[in-house]
Amino acid sequence: MSIVIAGVVGAAFGEGFAILHESVKNVIGQVIMFKSVLENLSATLESLESLVKEISRLNVDLDLPEKEIENMAKLMKKGAKMVDKCFKIQQYNIFSKAYYAFKIKELNDAIEKFCKVDLQAQILRTTLLTLEGVNDIRKHMNLKRFGLRTLSVSRPRDDIVGLVLPLKELKMELKKKEEQVLLLTGLGGCGKTTLVKMLRWDDEIKGIYGGNIFFVNVSKHPNLKVVVQDLYSRAHEFPNDEDAINQLEQHLNQIASNESNKSNPILMILDDVWPESKSTIDKFAFNIPDYKIVVTSRTAFPKFKSTYNLKPLDHEDAMSLFCRSASVNDMSFYVSKEKIEKIVRGCGGLPIALKVIGGSLCRRPAGVWKSTLKRWSDDGHSIFESDKEVLACLKKSLEFSDEKSILKEYFMDLGSFPEDQRIPATALIDMWTEIHEPNQNDDHVTADLHELTTTNLASLVKTRKDVSAVSNYYNEDFVTQHDVLRDLAIHLSSQDPITERERLIVDIRGNKLPEWWMKQEQQPINARLLSISTDELFSSSWYNIQAPKVEALVLNFQTGNYTLPEFLEKMVELKVIIITNYGFFPAELSNFQLLKSLPYLKRIRLEKVSIPSLCNAPVPLTSVKKISLFMCNIGQAFGNSTIQVSDSLPSLKEINIDYCNDLVELPTWLCEFLSLERLSITNCHRLFALPEGIGNLVSLKVLRFRACTELSELPESIKSLHKLCILDISDCLSITKLPKHIGELHHLQELHMKNCLRLRKQLPTSIVDLKQLELVVCDEERAKLWEPIKEILSGLNVMVAKEDISLDWLQK
């Protein structure tokens, strides 16, 4: 039923918003425990305040269910009471803290989705159709409907070493009125990005700029549309660079002025600007009152008069950071202070070098320390004067022992993915297992992944700490890497001639292919790993390349349409293909049928693509054992079919589907894969039903439906999955009960049911037959349901999940 949002229901919505906003304002400065999540909620409410006012002003007739708006109004009023309760929770009550922190985050997510997606889209569509002056309205709504993302950068740790004084000095420079642009420069790895993150979260700076602080990662070869788009919600696409900049300028002008004609200062942080991308600074230099830009760069651009040079750490701070990274206190019985100082001096005060080299020595035996000390003694020491010297220093940290030499291979593989992008942990696991550890399982490789992160050569961002720790679940985790370390990985991979390299990393700008690729007498390349990255101007005009030994192919692109290259079908040794679209909307993928020519292809990972039909004309992939789909449009691919789809994938053991929002109902043909051992469907919020035939998947060992919020029940046929060891329905908000005969899952060892908020009734009586059940992960309310069961299943551990509230995983 359509309603007038500014009517009775709209008034309730506005009232709920106002009550919640006022509660957050009253509590935010007084509750330290919830400071981070309340700040995030406050920022969301502030960014949406103008939208709520616009709703009332326009009196727009919206095609939204009245009940949906009423529920949101009630949710916000309930949220206000919950925020008030935060003030009363004691510091030591960690369970209540975790519960309320999660509930606040959940409330924040719900408000953002409702206002930034459902409501804004309806306002725009209805306004354009029904009000006069369409052109003026479109312009006005383009300014109002998308709140800029002021929280697009994570808060730094509180114990950062050596940046307190630089932060103070940088703030003094920023307060000067003379120049619009403040350039923060220094060597790669000296802490520039960390410093501007500290600036963004500094209380004094927030007092000046409020919520008008924006953070943009520019990088070496930026796509200006994408850079601007990343400031907005991801529901908008600009037709060209000029339009993106114009709309951003208009929006910032709107923020800079208010009804009282008082200026609202704005701070724009442009991080990691290279000489190749310095023109971006000029494009962001809008003529807006009290608008400041802070730029970080390794290059001291002479045109900017206001410059702050971030120097390396002094000796005391460098010693402190190194000792923490190397856990020197644990090694003090055989490492003298003099020896440590020798290594620290060799690092030249660079935080990245201190952390990486310190991490490489953390808890290592005395022999490793002695050999490291010898290398420093041979080379002497000096403060770094160039990025080349930084790379030379970090290269020493990669001299692993023979049994750990594989870590160097893993490290170099990280250069296969684009700069400043999150790397899915499972993509790395797929690649490493097949090309480096073919005789090992995934669990063996994950142990090496953790060791790589403990040496500070990469960072593992875990989004689901409640599940990763207990069931080796990495589907939602990511790996990030400092750009200096990425440079090192690519540098090390590029030492041999192109045709002899183990891994070949190709970065194509526009349609300009490398010269060696264009030569008619091109020799076959011997690379086992081939990575090809293209930008938004690439037209999929491929030249032939001979790469018969490639075992892993990584394709990174940004265009709306992408054609797989014809030479792919001649990569007869290919085992893993990873295809990732780094644009904002799913891209059309063609030439998918080429994969049928690859006899050893075992793993396929597709991200943000609209994949062709898998059922009407199945592509025979006889060796494929794992398929992963992330943020893909799969409605067409998963359509119903009378064709025996399973015949085209006879070896399939694992399917992972994550954030595929057009998946509404699981197709019946999926139940034909009788050899399937792992089925993971997560964050598919529109999935509401499962076929009864899911009980036919008798080989299943792991079954996950995490965060499928509309899924209302599990079929009773699930009782036939007698080999099932792990069942995960956490964050399935609509599930009200467990299957009556769940007790027939005699091999079930883990059950995850955190935040199944509607599951409040007594557990089925057959639950006591789960004799092999060792672990239940749930929230406090669900834990109460298990109290009587624990008396019968004496070996059962019921773990109340402590939700991790960090939003670091949202970063690129």
Query: What does the alpha-carbon distance between residue 323 and residue 17 come to, in Å, rounded to a whole number?
Result: 49
Helices 134-144 and 241-256 pack at an angle, to 10 degrees, of: 70
Q: Is 440 left (phi over 0), alpha (psi -120 to 50) or beta?
A: beta
Q: Determine the angle formed by the axes of helices 94-113 and 66-86, rounding to 10 degrees.
A: 150
Residue 120 has pLDDT above 60, yes or no: no
Each residue's pLDDT tens digit, 242-280? 988 998 998 888 888 764 556 789 999 999 898 888 899
> pLDDT at position 301, please?
87
What is the band of 329 on the pLDDT scale with cuts at 50, 70, 90? Answer: low
DSSP of 4-27: ETTSHHHHHHHHHHHHHHHHHHHH
Whole-angstrom Cα distance, residue 295 to residue 298?
10
Task: At 606, give phi and psi (nearest 5°).
Answer: -120, 135
Tell me how far apart the alpha carbons of residues 650 and 621 are, in angstroms, rounded to a whole number: 8
Cα separation, 422 vs 481, in Å, equals: 8
Gap between the terminal Cα atoms of the chain: 39
Helix 35-58, helix 66-86: angle, nearest 10:
150
pLDDT grade for 109, boundaries at 50, 70 and 90: confident
Q: Which residue has the higher pLDDT, 758 or 364?
A: 758
Confidence tier at 3 by pLDDT (50, 70, 90)? very low
**DSSP β-bridge partners for residue 750:** 726, 775
Per residue in 776-810, pLDDT (tens digit) is 999 888 999 999 999 899 889 999 987 544 444 34
State which amino acid sits at residue 395: K
Distance separating alpha carbons of residues 587 and 224, to the nearest angstrom: 19
- What is the structure's pLDDT at 748? 96
Q: Which of 347, 342, 399 is nearest to 368 (CA)?
A: 399
Distance from the Cα of residue 572 to its chain's centroid: 33
Q: What is the pLDDT of residue 719?
A: 94
- Helix locations, 297-424, DSSP H: 315-326, 328-331, 337-346, 351-361, 366-379, 387-395, 406-413
**Phi and psi at residue 128, to the nearest 5°:** -65, -30
Task: Give the pLDDT confidence of 228-239 residue by residue, as tens digits.
Answer: 887 875 556 788
Lowest mean pLDDT among 53-62, 653-662, 734-743: 53-62
Secondary element (H or E) of residue 641: none
* Residues paired with 273 in a beta bridge: 219
User: Can you give the length of the chain in residues?
Assistant: 812
